[in-house]
Amino acid sequence: MKIRFATLEDIPALVELGRRFHGLTRFRAYHFNAPRLTEQLTVLVRSQQGSHCFFVAEDSAGLPVGALIGCIERHMFSDQPIASIVQFVALPERRLGGAGLRLLTAFRRWAENRGAFELCAGVNSGVELAKMDRMLKRLGFRQTGGNYALSLGVVCPDPEIDGRVGK
């Protein structure tokens, strides 16, 4: 398995990876907008020389099986840079093959090379929370809080989905 920076040529496969991730998580309650995702990924690929990075895990056939988007920024109260994971996904059948761990390792190196004081990871997919907790703690992360979501009862515009977060 190879970890590398995403390219424009990866975007169609990454949109499909995103569609699959979307359907497996609590985010399936949200309408999936493939053109918007394509646009957002294109911007990220073109701007990853600055404050963002976009890594792809590819299998032996060169197909994306995972991705990690990260950024480096400063808190409002400090000049020290921190690195944060914006989006992190690995196909379930490829997680044991090390896609997730290798993506995290690449992100850590990227953050260290930019002088990050801290690396932050949030988990908000709603699936396999205990596994993610164990993996992150094994890698030296400590829990500092949690993620919360409050459904406002708005029906999702996608008729194929029930439309309520948390069901």
pLDDT digit string (tens) for 16-37?
A: 999 998 998 988 988 999 999 9
Q: Which CATH number characterizes residue 30's domain? A: 3.40.630.30
Per the CB < 8 A criterion, the answer to whether 84 and 118 are in contact is no
The whole-number pLDDT of residue 96 equals 56
Q: If 0-12 CB within 10 Å is exposed, 13-18 middle and 19+ buried, where does residue 125 land?
A: middle
The whole-number pLDDT of residue 4 equals 95
In a domain, 86, yes or no: yes
In a domain, 23, yes or no: yes
pTM (predicted TM-score): 0.84
CA dist., res. 131 & res. 76, Å (int): 32
In a domain, 44, yes or no: yes
In a domain, 99, yes or no: yes
Per the CB < 8 A criterion, the answer to whether 37 and 44 are in contact is no
Considering 69-73, 130-134, 149-153, the range whose residues carry the highest mean pLDDT is 69-73
φ, ψ (nearest 5 deg) of residue 18: -65, -40
**Tokens 């044991």, residue located:** 96
How does residue 127 score in pLDDT terms, banded at 50, 70 and 90?
Answer: confident
Inter-CA distances, 119 with 77, 95, 144, Å: 17, 21, 12
The whole-number pLDDT of residue 72 equals 95
In a domain, 166, yes or no: no
In a domain, 67, yes or no: yes
- Domain range spanning residue 46? 2-138
The whole-number pLDDT of residue 164 equals 40
The whole-number pLDDT of residue 92 equals 77
The whole-number pLDDT of residue 20 equals 92
Q: Is the pLDDT of residue 159 over 70?
A: no
Question: What is the tally of structural domains in the chain?
Answer: 1
In a domain, 74, yes or no: yes
In a domain, 98, yes or no: yes
